[in-house]
């Protein structure tokens, strides 16, 4: 569970107490065990043509890791998702805990946009590929966009981390325009969300989790994309970035 996030971390392993080091090591080991047990279940569902149960498996997976690591997740703005059947969720990205928390606590069936390299991870990569997750290959972007549109038509919402990488330096970085482009092409409302505090739980190059603490997820007002065209994606990207920036909190 090595972390190759971009930029420097703002949590220091040297500042941890011996108790937290032991807790972190144990929690990391259990997280690997949870993944080893649940990923084959998800892969089997995908292989048999039943991707829907993967949502509940992912929810359990995220919940177990969050609880084992003693992370408190504070979420604001659930009311902004009312009456939305499917949507494109656009967020900043600080650590793997963003994925765990979204999988565990966001309502509805959500699939993530992920890098194609995850296909190489035994079992987990296969499970994601067969369960309507979007594995981006920059050399075949059009094909993956078409797949993402089809996934929304199947009733899934899609989460995109618009910065393009994990950044655990406690800052918000410039958004790429892929999320806005997908939302426009799929004719889906786009929902901005800011995640704060999660970067401290698994800093860059960390081998074990830093347990305990709080992360915050703030869900913004949905933005309609009806009537927008591909040429509008730059303006929509700026709008999304400003919305997330306004909700983002720099944690001490």
Strands 214-219 and 190-196: antiparallel
pLDDT given for residue 192 in this prediction? 98
What is the domain-level CATH number for residue 228?
A: 3.40.1130
Residue 15, judged by CB atoms within 10 A of its CB (0-12, 13-18, 19+), counts as exposed
Distance CA 227, CA 230 (A): 10
Considering its fold, how many domains does the chain have in total? 1
- With 0.95 as the threshold, say if the pTM is over it: no
pLDDT given for residue 15 in this prediction? 56
Domain membership flag for residue 1? no
Domain membership flag for residue 252? no
Domain membership flag for residue 3? no
pLDDT band at 8 (very low <50, low <70, confident <90, very high): very low
pLDDT given for residue 202 in this prediction? 85
For residue 85, what are the CA distances in angstroms to 22, 88, 147, 174, 208?
Answer: 43, 11, 18, 28, 37
Distance CA 175, CA 182 (A): 14
Domain membership flag for residue 52? yes
Q: Tell me which residue range forms the domain holding 29.
A: 15-201+210-247
Domain membership flag for residue 147? yes
pLDDT given for residue 76 in this prediction? 97
Give 50-90 pLDDT, tens digit per residue.
888 989 999 999 999 999 999 999 999 999 999 899 999 99
Rounded mean pLDDT of the chain? 86
pLDDT given for residue 7 in this prediction? 46
Statement: residue 26 has pLDDT above 70: yes
Give 141-154 pLDDT, tens digit per residue.
566 778 788 888 88
Domain membership flag for residue 42? yes
Give 171-195 pLDDT, tens digit per residue.
899 999 989 998 999 899 999 999 9
Nearest CA to 64 out of 94, 98, 35, 96 is that of 35
Domain membership flag for residue 80? yes
Domain membership flag for residue 5? no
pLDDT given for residue 9 in this prediction? 46
pLDDT band at 2 (very low <50, low <70, confident <90, very high): very low
């Amino acid at each position: 569970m090595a972390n190759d996030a971009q930029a420097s971390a703002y949590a220091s392993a040297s500042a941890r107490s011996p108790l937290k080091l032991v807790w972190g090591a144990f929690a990391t080991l259990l997280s690997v065990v949870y993944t080893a047990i649940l990923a084959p279940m998800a892969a089997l569902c995908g292989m048999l043509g039943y991707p829907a149960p993967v949502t509940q498996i992912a929810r359990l997976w995220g919940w177990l890791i969050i609880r084992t690591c003693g992370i408190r997740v504070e979420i604001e703005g659930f009311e902004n998702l009312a009456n939305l059947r499917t949507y494109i969720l656009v967020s900043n990205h600080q650590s793997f805990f963003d994925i765990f928390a979204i999988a565990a606590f966001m309502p509805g069936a959500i699939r993530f946009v992920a890098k194609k390299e995850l296909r190489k991870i035994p079992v987990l990569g296969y499970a994601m590929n067969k369960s309507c997750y979007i594995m981006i290959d920059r050399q075949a972007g059009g094909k993956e966009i078409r797949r993402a549109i089809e996934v929304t038509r199947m009733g899934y919402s899609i989460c995109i981390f618009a910065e393009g990488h994990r950044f655990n330096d406690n800052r918000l970085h410039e958004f790429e325009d892929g999320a806005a482009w997908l939302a426009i092409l799929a004719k889906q409302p786009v929902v901005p969300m800011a995640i704060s505090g999660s970067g401290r739980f698994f800093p860059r190059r960390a081998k074990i989790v830093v347990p305990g603490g709080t992360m915050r997820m703030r869900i913004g007002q949905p933005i309609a994309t009806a009537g927008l065209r591909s040429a509008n994606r730059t303006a929509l990207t700026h709008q999304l970035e400003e919305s997330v920036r306004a909700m983002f909190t720099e944690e001490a």
